[in-house]
Every structure is written in C-alpha cells, then in structure tokens.
Amino acid sequence: MGRTRFHKGHGTRNDFILVSDPEGLKPLTPEFVRRIADRRGGIGADGVIRAVRSGAVGDWDGDPNIWFMDYHNADGSVAEMCGNGLRVFARYLLQQQLVDTLEFDVATRAGVKHVEAHNHTISAQIGRAMVAGDSVRVDAGGRAWDATPVDVGNPHAVAFVASEELPALDLQHAPVWEPAERFPEGVNLEFAVVEGPDRLAMRVYERGVGETQSCGTGVVAVAAAYRAQHPGEGPVAVRVPGGDLRVDFRPEGAVLTGPAEIVGDGQFWY
C-alpha cells in the first residue's frame, strides 16, 4: 500500500489533481494517473499535474530553477500543454508559496509560459495559435462538419456549427475525423457557435479524456479560428459549459484569462 499527497483544483470546471515532486523522484506512470483520475475508483479529474523543478526533467535544457508542469491526461497519456491546467498550476504554486511574485514563468512541454495572478483570475501566456489553411471533416454522432486545424502547442480542430446544433451534439462517444492521418496522435475537437461580435460559445471533446466542461487551449484555438475569419484587435470572450474565459491576442501570442482555484487536498491510498 502506498500513499500520495494531492491537491485538487479547477479552472471553469476543467479539474485537475496536483502532486508535488520537486526533485523529480516520483515520475507519474500511466497506471497511477488512470487510478487517481478515475471518478469512481479514485479522486477524479480531467488530468494530473506533477510539480517538478525543471532541472530534474531529463530532456529540459532551459532554466533549471523554474517549475515544470508535467501534465498527463486522465487516460495516462502525456500531453504537451493544457491552458486551464497551466492556470490552476499557477494558483497552486502561489497558494503553496512555491513562488514569491504574482508574475512568473512556468516550463511546459510546449515551452516556457508566463503567468500573472489577479484578484480572482489567472492570465496565462499560451503562445501563438497557428491556424492551418486546410480542413478536416469531423463526424460526431452521425453529423459532420468541416473543421479548421489549429496548433496551440497541442493539436486542435475547430468546427463552427449552428446555434441549435451545439446543445444537441452527441459527445458521449469520440468523434472521428477524415483524413485520419492528419492527426496521427489524436486531436482535441472543438464545436463553436458565434453568439455575437467577439462572443463565442463552445463544447469540446479532449483527446485522452472525453467531453470536458472547459479546455483552455481549445478556447484559444476557437478564438484564433474566429479571428482568422473576423479580423480585429479586441479580446474574444468564450463561454464554455464550466464558465467564461477571455482570449487576448498580443504580439507575443495568445493570453488566456479566467478563474482558477484550489478546492481541497488530501491523501490518495493505492
């Protein structure tokens, strides 16, 4: 029998389990991630984040002293980045007094990201969202749409649907896309509606997880796909089932702002 101390947090109801391993002595295994993230047999979460110093990450060649967000999907697979996870990770570092300023850098598999804490929200630099010129055909529950690939450090495909189609979407089962080889390692699929100028609503099916209440990089992908069709300079507001987020496009890349909180802690026995 073993035990691990954990914290639980969420950003617009996209929830995460956080574990501390500063020296990098306890790497996460797929089996452990699946067990602790299980909503009936474990604690339950969309993803698991290990807090580890960058210098203890084998293939990291940047600043060894900043914190590294070692992110894993609920199915145990490793992901490059997670926008809401990054903001919740920042709140965790602040709450645990592991950083001593309200602005700091976090290392991820998608590079170094800058975060800034406000009274009730966290802003995270996500980076450039690269909107592709091609499209894929996405089928969800027997209904199909053209979707635009967007690279946000991890892969996305954004389909704009009619307002009445969004709540009727069947996301209990994984949507499929053609051509399949466009995303050989899977893709996060977003379905979005334009509710007004610079105002969107979306649902998302995350690879390795399923439908979630929110997806930070997915929100950025949807906002970027919208901006590609509707040029402008102002922020884009995106409503997800779990709440509201804002995306600002700056010269250095997209910035995602929204609530992030730690809701509890405890010990997981396994």
State the catalytic residues: 82, 215
24 to 63, 67, 72: CA distances (angstroms): 15, 11, 15
Query: How many C-alpha atoms does 242 have within 13 Å on its Cβ side?
Result: 19
Contacts by 202-205, CB closer than 8 A, 24 or more apart = 202/166, 202/238, 202/239, 202/240, 203/166, 203/169, 203/171, 203/240, 203/241, 204/240, 205/140, 205/171, 205/174, 205/175
Helix (H) or strand (E) holding 39: none
Residues 24 and 52: beta-carbon distance below 8 Å: yes
